[in-house]
């Protein structure tokens, strides 16, 4: 019998991935390939590329040791075809294979490329998620609004996580109210670091030679690159950071890049960890009394709630989702997103740590860099491409609904019922950035005024036809309309002057 090609992509590094389950060890050939197309569809952060290539190589070595016939193409292989489809065809030519088994990729771009192959490619559902496409669509069907909170409750019932019979543990579904503490004086933990082994070092040399011009620092490189290491990072988080995760979930601190966050998304999204083992570990910490309910519920909600919900939205909305732009924003992405050269301390801090670590936590992504892009009217597609490039956990299925939907409101309100915008006050309350800033968060207009302040009001003013009647925003519009004509026109003038200087390339 002719062998079949079993394709495993860089974010499918799970031993029980669907395509492999369908395969026959005695017959088939497993294909994994480092290819220029995947490494270059956006200018990925070098740490992200190094992480995936190192994890791919180790995963392939384990499959080989387990008896699989492997075909692994390194990026610098002179015969590398440069794309996933090209690599599939190359294996067809070199063997008698005429058919390929794949697990559905997390991006329409690649799903389409596989559909258009000249040989049959069977794409099996990626069942590493709690909710299938069909289940999400059934949940969404007929609902006026797709609110995450209701989806999340379904997932709690389905998994039994933090359930007391059919009631939520502690009597409430959501303990977010307790999870908004400002930053603490200091942080007493850090994510687990791993010293690069020989496989990682070889990849680091390759990435340094090939992707030197990409945004991001390659070294020091400390990520886990195999399942064993990722599991150690998980247990370290459960013991050292989870207990405080809830309290400081929304806090931001200059110089503290990780606070009490898990830094697990890149491992989970690449397949080194499962949602199930992460959530079980967190629930067990609650059961043993080593982590409080507000932390554990908040953490589990991010994974079985937000993560699954975002995936459901991406696949339900379809390939044109990343092109949406209901607010008609078209300003170019400022250069400081790539070089951190801005006088706004909050932005410089979030961008600098993104360059260093390929990581920023949720509130930095949403309320600093995302908030600024929305207030400044940046083209959402450019914002989407930036996020897809710079974070180690970024794949379109999860990045696009977070950016196009949640952060930029470019989908018109599918993910969020109102835009996530705020002035400087929110950032000042939740961080220590403002005290080291050239701008004054208490000043609303003029040279020294915090740009988030006047851009916020100018945004509301610009979009009053769309948001003026939104009951969740009525209070803000009333406040705006109560300001004197002079104050309102000062605010709009300050915003316009700032945006003109920014677009002219001045250091703002
Ligand atoms: P923690 O704060 O420890 O949270 C635990 C886990 O919950 C994460 O590991 C992640 O798997 C999950 N999670 C939390 N929030 C979300 C969310 N909104 N959507 C999906 N999963 C979530 N997450 C990505 O995995 N990839 C992305 O490309 C990505 N892009 C984002 C872009 C924007 C503009 C925003 C606002 C959020 C984005 N997120 C993305 C969600 C979130 O910011 C990251 O999952 C989180 O910061 C990862 O860090 P962590 O592992 O320390 O998370
Ligand atoms: C992100 C990425 C990168 C940088 N490189 C590769 C690669 O060389 N080979 C590969 O199989 N996968 C890579 N990936 C992950 C894919 O881009 C990812 O599978 C798709 O975007 C679908 O989520
Ligand atoms: Fe950011 Fe404004 Fe605070 Fe400066 S003053 S750090 S720009 S919120």
pLDDT at 338 over 90: yes
Question: Token pair for residue 52?
Answer: 């995936």
pLDDT at 212 over 90: yes
The answer to whether the CB of 458 is under 6 A from ligand 1 is no
Q: Are residues 378 and 458 located together in one domain of the fold? A: yes
What mean pLDDT is predicted for residues 112-126?
Answer: 98
Give the whole-angstrom CA distance, residue 284 versus residue 295: 12
269 within domain boundaries:
yes
The answer to whether the CB of 169 is under 6 A from ligand 2 is no
The mean of the pLDDT values for the chain is 97
Nearest Cα to 407, choosing from 479, 338, 394? 394
| Residue owning the nearest CA to atom 1 of ligand 3 | 346
Nearest Cα to 394, choosing from 16, 43, 34? 43
Provide φ and ψ at 72, rounded to 5°.
-115, 125
pLDDT value for 372: 98
Q: Are residues 270 and 416 located together in one domain of the fold? A: no
205 within domain boundaries:
no
pLDDT value for 180: 86
* Cα 361 to ligand 1 centre (Å): 7
Cα-Cα end-to-end distance for the chain: 66
177 within domain boundaries:
yes
Per-residue pLDDT of 463-488, as tens digits, reads 999 999 999 999 999 999 999 999 99
Give yes or no for a contact between 458 and 495, defined as CB atoms under 8 angstroms apart. Answer: yes
Per-residue pLDDT of 266-321, as tens digits, reads 999 999 999 999 999 999 999 999 999 999 999 999 999 999 999 999 999 999 99
The answer to whether the CB of 55 is under 6 A from ligand 1 is no
pLDDT at 22 over 90: yes
Residue 138: exposed, middle, or buried by beta-carbon count in 10 A (0-12, 13-18, 19+)? exposed
The answer to whether the CB of 47 is under 6 A from ligand 2 is no
What mean pLDDT is predicted for residues 194-210?
Answer: 98
Range from 142-146, 226-230, 323-327 carrying the lowest mean pLDDT: 142-146
* Cα 49 to ligand 2 centre (Å): 9
pLDDT at 365 over 90: yes
The answer to whether the CB of 261 is under 6 A from ligand 1 is yes
| Tally: H helices and E strands in the chain | 25, 7
pLDDT band at 367 (very low <50, low <70, confident <90, very high): very high
Mode of pairing for the β-strands spanning 167-168 and 163-164: antiparallel
The answer to whether the CB of 271 is under 6 A from ligand 2 is no
The CATH number of the domain holding residue 12 is 3.40.50.620
The separation between CA 357 and the C-alpha centre of its own chain, rounded to angstroms, equals: 14
Domain boundary among 89, 124, 159: 124
Domain boundary among 279, 314, 349: 314
The separation between CA 274 and the C-alpha centre of its own chain, rounded to angstroms, equals: 16
Provide φ and ψ at 339, rounded to 5°.
-120, -5
pLDDT value for 27: 97
Q: Are residues 150 and 283 located together in one domain of the fold? A: yes
The answer to whether the CB of 23 is under 6 A from ligand 1 is no
Q: Are residues 255 and 353 located together in one domain of the fold? A: no
Domain boundary among 258, 280, 314: 314
Give yes or no for a contact between 414 and 318, defined as CB atoms under 8 angstroms apart. Answer: no
201 within domain boundaries:
no
The answer to whether the CB of 50 is under 6 A from ligand 2 is no
Per-residue pLDDT of 374-389, as tens digits, reads 999 999 999 999 999 9
Q: Are residues 289 and 392 located together in one domain of the fold? A: no
Give yes or no for a contact between 12 and 103, defined as CB atoms under 8 angstroms apart. Answer: yes
Q: Write out the residue range of the structural domain in which residue 92 sits.
A: 5-124
User: Which atom of ligand 2 is least distant from the CA of 32?
Assistant: 11
Three-state DSSP at 318 gives coil
Pocket of ligand 3 (CB under 6 A): 344-346, 424, 427-428, 433-434, 437, 439, 441, 450-452
* Cα 119 to ligand 2 centre (Å): 21
- State the total domains in the chain: 3
pLDDT value for 178: 84
pLDDT value for 112: 98
The answer to whether the CB of 307 is under 6 A from ligand 1 is yes
């Amino acid at each position: 019998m002719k062998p079949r090609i079993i394709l495993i992509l860089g974010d499918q590094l799970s031993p029980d991935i669907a395509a492999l389950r369908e395969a026959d060890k005695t017959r088939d050939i497993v294909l994994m390939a480092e290819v220029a197309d995947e490494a270059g569809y956006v200018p990925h952060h070098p740490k992200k590329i190094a992480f995936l290539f190192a994890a791919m190589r180790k995963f392939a070595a384990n499959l080989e040791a387990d008896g699989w016939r492997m075909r692994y193409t390194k990026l610098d292989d002179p015969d590398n075809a440069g794309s996933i489809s090209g690599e599939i065809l190359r294996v067809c030519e070199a063997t008698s294979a005429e058919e390929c088994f794949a697990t559905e990729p997390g991006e329409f771009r690649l799903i389409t490329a596989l559909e258009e192959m000249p040989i049959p490619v069977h794409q099996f559902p990626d069942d590493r998620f709690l909710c299938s496409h069909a289940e999400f669509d059934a949940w969404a069907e007929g609902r006026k609004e797709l609110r995450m909170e209701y989806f999340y409750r379904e997932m709690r019932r389905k998994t039994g996580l933090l359930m007391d019979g059919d009631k939520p543990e502690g009597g409430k579904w959501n303990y977010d109210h307790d999870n908004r503490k400002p930053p603490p004086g200091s942080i007493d933990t850090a994510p687990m670091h791993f010293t690069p082994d020989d496989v990682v070092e070889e990849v680091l040399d390759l990435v340094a030679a090939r992707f030197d011009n990409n945004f991001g620092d390659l070294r020091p490189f400390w990520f886990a690159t195999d399942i064993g290491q990722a599991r150690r990072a998980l247990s370290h988080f459960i013991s050292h950071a989870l207990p405080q995760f809830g309290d400081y979930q929304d806090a931001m601190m200059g110089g503290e890049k990780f606070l009490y966050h898990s830094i697990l998304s890149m491992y989970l999204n690449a397949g080194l960890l499962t949602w199930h083992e992460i959530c079980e570990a967190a629930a067990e910490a609650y059961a043993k009394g080593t982590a409080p309910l507000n932390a554990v519920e908040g953490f589990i909600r991010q994974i079985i709630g937000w993560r699954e919900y975002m995936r459901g939205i991406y696949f339900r909305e379809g390939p044109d989702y990343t092109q949406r732009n209901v607010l008609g924003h078209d300003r170019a992405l400022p250069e400081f997103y790539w070089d951190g050269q801005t006088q706004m301390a909050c932005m410089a801090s979030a961008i600098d740590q993104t360059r260093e670590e390929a990581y920023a936590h949720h509130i930095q992504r949403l309320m600093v860099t995302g908030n600024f892009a929305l207030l400044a009217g940046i083209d959402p597609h450019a914002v989407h491409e930036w996020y897809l490039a710079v974070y180690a956990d970024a794949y379109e299925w999860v990045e696009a609904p977070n950016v196009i939907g949640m952060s930029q409101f470019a989908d018109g309100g599918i993910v969020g019922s109102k835009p996530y915008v705020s002035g400087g006050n929110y950032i000042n309350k939740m961080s220590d950035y403002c005290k080291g800033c050239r701008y004054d968060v208490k000043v609303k207009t003029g040279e020294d005024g915090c740009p988030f302040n006047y851009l916020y009001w100018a945004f509301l003013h610009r979009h009053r036809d769309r948001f003026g009647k939104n009951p969740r925003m009525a209070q803000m519009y009333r406040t705006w309309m109560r300001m004197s004509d002079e104050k309102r026109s000062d605010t709009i003038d300050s915003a316009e002057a700032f945006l003109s200087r920014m677009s002219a390339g001045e250091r703002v």
